[in-house]
Structure 1
Amino acid sequence: MFIVVYEFEIKDGTEASFREAWLGVTKAIYEHCGSLGSRLHTSDRPNILVGYAQWPNREQWEKDHQLADERYQKARNEMRSCLVRSTTVYKLEVSDDYLQPDLASNC
């Protein structure tokens, strides 16, 4: 599995718009490009969001994914309009995995 970590610095007052647009972009990439999905996180720094996307492998992530889908293009443009900057922070190969999708019941 291949993971990409992004840092997004967004303009003041755009978090709700960014998050909605991010979801539209993420759904389209999942549906049309073979990703395994993504998560978006708030951080302890104002206007900084962190996302990570999972892919089956680096090769799938590196493919030239030209999406003509109108909903994707609209969401992508909205997402970009909210950004101050976007940075790819890490490109990671999973070496060991014990991430559990279900909540532990004995905590």
Structure 2
Amino acid sequence: MYIVLYTFKIKENHKDDFIKAWKGLTKLIYKHEGSLGSRLHKKDALTYIAYAQWPDKTTFDNAGKNLPQEAEHFRCLMKASCEKVDIIEKLDVIEDLLK
């Protein structure tokens, strides 16, 4: 498995739009791009961290080509609700004991 960690710095008073965009886009990526899903975590009032899981690096690297038009709505909403989005780590899973 392959893991990608993201950090999101959201704009003041945009939490609900951000979460809506993150959930919508994540569901589409799962359905159309082969993702194994993601978890969203809150670090502080304006900083969120997401943990996305993929079967392998190749699937992650090739993602984005199969998304439906609906994804553009969520991308625009996320862009409007965030000051900054960064990938902070890309990791290979060695052992997995999550249940």
- Which bin holds the TM-score, normalised by the shorter protein? over 0.9
- Deviation string 1:35-81 (CA, Å, 9 cap, x unpaired) is 001111111x3300000110000000001522452321101110111
Report the AA paired with residue 9 of structure 1: K
Which whole-Å CA distance do the structure 2 matches of 1:81 and 1:36 have between them? 26
Determine the C-alpha separation between the residues in 1 that align with 2:66 and 2:75.
11
Residue equivalent to 2:37: 37
Q: Which ranges in structure 1 are unaligned for 5 or more consecutive residues?
A: 101-107
Spell out structure 1 runs of 4+ moving beyond 3 A: none
AA of the residue aligned to 2:85: S
User: What is residue 74 of structure 2 aligned with on the other side?
Assistant: 75
Bigger Cα Rg: 1
Segments of 5+ residues of structure 2 without an aligned counterpart are none
The number of aligned residues is 99
CA-atom RMSD in angstroms: 1.2
Cα 1:52–1:21 change in 2 (3 A) is same
Tell me whether 1:8 sits opposite 2:8 in the alignment.
Answer: yes
Structure 1 counterpart SS, 2:58: helix
Matched with 1:59 is: 58
Matched residue SS, 2:95: coil
Q: Structure 1 vs Structure 2: percent identity of aligned residues?
A: 36
- Aligned partners of 2:33 and 2:63 also within 8 Å: no
- The yes-or-no answer on 1:28 pairing with 2:54 is no
Give the match for residue 105 of structure 1. Answer: none
What's the secondary structure of 1:62's corresponding residue?
A: helix
Q: Distance in 1 between matches of 2:73 and 2:90?
A: 27
Letter in 2 for 1:35: S
Query: How far is the alpha carbon of 1:97 from its aligned partner?
Result: 1.3
